[in-house]
Amino acid sequence: MNLLFEKTDPQTIKVKIKDKGTSIDFDYMSMIKGLLSSGSLDKSELIGEFSSVEKSSIESMIRHLNECVPKHDEKVDLDTDPTSSL
């Protein structure tokens, strides 16, 4: 699964989710479900004129999302309060 970013004009970027040859409009729930199912996002596709800062920001976001997704063999305890050790 990956994200497709299409810059249609200087102020508009459309985002789609691509998975197994199918594209759907981006929504967070679909992205989270896909991430949990696949374990990571593949490299994003960029269509249009993106600045180097925009490209770097997108790459950083994808890298961060991939780092936050538990691997399939990791146990995730959703009942644990992550702030309890603070």
pLDDT in tens, 18-70: 998 899 999 999 999 988 888 899 999 999 999 999 999 999 999 999 998 87
What pLDDT does residue 36 have? 87
Residue pair 2/42 in contact by the 8 Å Cβ criterion: yes
- Furthest CA-CA distance within the chain: 46
Residue 73 has pLDDT above 70, yes or no: no
Residue pair 46/58 in contact by the 8 Å Cβ criterion: yes
Residue 79 has pLDDT above 90, yes or no: no
Tokens 């050790």 correspond to 85
Mean per-residue pLDDT, 75-86: 54
**Residue 72 — φ and ψ, nearest 5°?**
-60, -30
Comparing CA positions, the residue from 69, 73, 78 lying closest to residue 35 is 69
